[in-house]
Structure 1
Amino acid sequence: MELKRTDVLLMAFCTGLIVANIYYCQPLVILVAKEFSITESHAGKITYLTQAGYALGLFLIVPLGDMFERRKQILLITGVAVVALLMAALSHTFFLLQIACVLIGASSIVPQLILPMAANLTSDEKRGPTIGIIMSGLLIGILASRALSGSIAFIWGWRTMYFIAAGICSLLLLLMAARFPQSKPTFNGNYKELMQSMWHYVKTQPVLREASIINFLAFAILSAFWTTMVLFLANPPFSYSTLQIGLFGIAGAAGALAAPLVGKLSSGKNPRKNLLTGLILQLLSIAGFYFTGSHLYLFIAGIILIDIGQQAIHVTNQTRIYALVPEARNRLNTVFMSVSFVGASVGSALGLWLWDKGQWPLFCLGTALVVVLNILIYNFYSRKLTT
């Protein structure tokens, strides 16, 4: 069965709305800190706990997509997401909110089940563009989540955002049950054998190793920025509200527009060249952040560059790994995305630490060094890989 364009667009729509669950918390940090009478840096823990939960879900749950029917798995996990979002909305202590955030992250892995499903139902020549379209939906969801969350929280409070998210996921549950195709499992062993097979692919697939390492550091940069920028904009000289901070997510829409183009380029003869482009764009974006001062046009330009750069890196790497072992796409994706979101969690923690030690200038310096390290890793693998 070959996916129709309407099917791909539906998958992109669902992917964007579900992945948004991970990012709603970022503009809410200031309000959460005020309600629970804790510091903003301490409240920022909900950002990397959500990402850590996502990494945990990726590692433990996503491989099952090769072992069980994906549609049933997608519906079950989305149901869990509804419960986790309601738990966050009703949390009466910060400790319970942290637990809820871990569960929200772990149950928001549905996009990483949708992507292998789409890859399996798409021909080789269309796989890159298909992944690019779905990734556009994913990025739009990330960006819209920040703007929506900041706006909703500013008007009705941060808990309302989680109630709304639970309602959205409930509606998606019905839509996916009615429209998503069924898939056939490709792995006949038990769970232990399934997990052990992932280490085999790590050892035998150098492309998987390179893609995962580069994505780890790239996600760390992106996550560090989106976590720390809330503190940067909430303090002088800007002193912006949650609503105003959330709207900055819209500036990254250029990254979503770039994803289908990157998807087409990643199906070419040498997709690795896209990685270097993405890394250079990340470095340029940090330069813009460093020299922002009170000039917001540099800050906005940096947001656009960092999101386009991230798309160039992520879509290219995801297309590369899906071409390696077709019958093991969920397991390959598990390794790739688990490492990526561990990087995101580490990046959020790193961004908060750099902010505490030296605020925005040290944040920019520290993240720039991480990008330089990533470029060195890229050059190391350039002598070994051409795809």
Structure 2
Amino acid sequence: MTTTKTPGGPAPRGAGAGGRLRPGIGRGLLLLMSAATGLAVAGNYFAHPLLDRIAGDLGMGPATAALVVTAAQAGYGAGLLLLVPLGDIVERRRLAVALYAATALFLAVSALAPNGPVLVAGTVLTALTSVAAQVVVGYAAGAAAPQERGRVIGTLMTGLLIGVLLARTASGALSELAGWPTVYWVNAVLMALVAVALRLLMPRALPEQRLSYPALLASTLALFASEPLLRWRAAIGAVTMAAFSLMWTALTLLLAGPSYGWSEASIGLVGLLGVAGAATATVAGRLADRGRVQAVSGAGVALLLVAWAPLLAGGGALAPLLLGVLLVDSAQQAVLNSSQNVIYALRPEVRNRLNSAYMTCYFAGGAVGSALTAAVWTGGGWTGVSALGAALSAAGLVLWLLERRAARPR
């Protein structure tokens, strides 16, 4: 486990002789980290319900406006691959604080953007540094006692998903209140405050390894060759996140279309339902701490497949649609939390690189799911979306069964 040391001044609660922390994270710090992860990733989703308004204000065409969403996905993917592994070779508190401060700066750039290209550039940079959330997750996984690691990761991932889901709701409300730049200004201030809070409250976490940056990146990619479980879990994460992203992207088209005719603000409120599903992460984490991580994974991929039945029926009826959304969110959290518990247990000394490798595949799957939405929606509408979502979910279930089969002693 990574050695943690306190900054100057008295040792924090739980510290032993010499300022070393006993394994474990206090409730206050855990809640701060959970909020920090949610706020960091929220900035990547603010533009989703605001594209028409932003395009009108900045004189952007539809193609340029769509680049804002693509830019966020590309920037986050690049950050996962290029920045998250640094947590294995640099002091993690310093890395997290620097990334949060940079995110605040780049959000301000987006708020001040006079045209589309500047907004796209600000979005890319914001997404790139918002992987601070994953640095915090890696820090917490290393600092947590083994018997509480599942609960800790579950709490942080609950915060992350709540940030993703509520970003759309908050951006719609703030935009109607004071214009779309207000959304970015508010998040910029919050990011700056988080950077200060983490600097004051997070103990230092010194790395155990010394590597050059090129060697660090090479060793991250090499993990796919040396860790079969990482390969399985990355594949499962990619296809399940593709299904999750497909559902949320197409859901906006369905609710705004003739079947429902909802406003942007009303569509954003659906994100509140997902918050209930986010609570699954904590439950899944506690079960993982009790040795039930594989059962959680299996239940998660099975539930994700089942969820597409009420979603299909929800093309013309609200109640089954909302039930399906809740099931998808709950299932996705179970799969993500259990997979992270599996990969974090592989090699603690390369935990950030394992997380980088896994999450890069995870969000790449999400980007593919979003990209497929327009074509599937045009060709098959909500029925086509439901069929593809079910196929992706079934692929996740098959991959999990194959992983279990490969893991059996021969």
- TM-score, length-scaled by structure 2: 0.89
Partner of 1:101: 123
Amino acid aligned to 2:130: S
Residue 148 of structure 1: which of 164, 170, 193 is its match? 170
Amino acid aligned to 1:362: G
Inter-CA distance 332–260: structure 2 relative to 1 (3 Å threshold):
same
**Deviations, residues 87-126 of structure 1 (Å, cap 9, x unaligned):** 2222233333222222221111011111111111111111
Structure 2 SS opposite 1:32? helix
Partner of 1:135: 157
User: Is there any run of 5+ residues in structure 1 with no aligned partner, and where?
Assistant: none
CA contact (8 A) 1:139 1:255 kept: no
Inter-CA distance 296–37: structure 2 relative to 1 (3 Å threshold):
farther
Are positions 1:7 and 2:60 aligned together? no
Q: What is the alpha-carbon distance in structure 1 between the residues aligned to residue 164 and residue 103 of structure 2?
A: 17
Are positions 1:341 and 2:359 aligned together? no
Q: What is the alpha-carbon distance in structure 2 between the residues aligned to residue 193 and residue 269 of structure 1?
A: 35
Q: What is the alpha-carbon distance in structure 1 between the residues aligned to residue 380 and residue 254 of structure 2?
A: 12
Distance apart, 1:229 and its partner CA: 1.7
CA contact (8 A) 1:24 1:161 kept: yes
Q: What is the alpha-carbon distance in structure 2 between the residues aligned to residue 334 and residue 120 of structure 1?
A: 15
Larger Rg: 2
Partner of 1:185: 207
**Deviations, residues 131-172 of structure 1 (Å, cap 9, x unaligned):** 111112112222222211121123333222112111111111
User: Is there any run of 5+ residues in structure 2 with no aligned partner, and where?
Assistant: 1-20
Are positions 1:354 and 2:361 aligned together? no
Residue 211 of structure 1: which of 233, 239, 253 is its match? 233
Residue 248 of structure 1: which of 265, 270, 286 is its match? 270
Partner of 1:262: 284
Amino acid aligned to 2:200: A
Partner of 2:318: 296
CA contact (8 A) 1:153 1:160 kept: yes
CA contact (8 A) 1:78 1:107 kept: yes
Of 135-144 and 312-321, deviating more is 135-144
Inter-CA distance 14–63: structure 2 relative to 1 (3 Å threshold):
same
Q: 5 Å matches for 1:196-207?
A: 196-207=218-229
Amino acid aligned to 2:316: S
Partner of 1:26: 48
**Deviations, residues 285-323 of structure 1 (Å, cap 9, x unaligned):** 222222113321111111111110011100000011111
CA RMSD of aligned residues (A): 1.9
CA contact (8 A) 1:63 1:195 kept: yes
Distance apart, 1:281 and its partner CA: 2.0
Distance apart, 1:56 and its partner CA: 0.5
Structure 2 SS opposite 1:237? coil
**Deviations, residues 322-371 of structure 1 (Å, cap 9, x unaligned):** 11101110111110111111111111111222223333222222222111
**Deviations, residues 38-71 of structure 1 (Å, cap 9, x unaligned):** 44x8634422321221111010001011110011
Partner of 1:43: 65
Are positions 1:74 and 2:100 aligned together? no
Partner of 1:220: 242
Are positions 1:116 and 2:138 aligned together? yes
Q: What is the alpha-carbon distance in structure 2 between the residues aligned to residue 101 and residue 339 of structure 1?
A: 21
CA contact (8 A) 2:254 2:315 kept: no
Percent identity between matched residues is 32
Q: What is the alpha-carbon distance in structure 2 between the residues aligned to residue 137 and residue 6 of structure 1?
A: 14
Distance apart, 1:379 and its partner CA: 2.0
Structure 1 SS opposite 2:260? coil
Count matched residues.
Answer: 386
Q: What is the alpha-carbon distance in structure 2 between the residues aligned to residue 244 and residue 53 of structure 1?
A: 29
Partner of 2:401: 379
Structure 1 SS opposite 2:406? coil
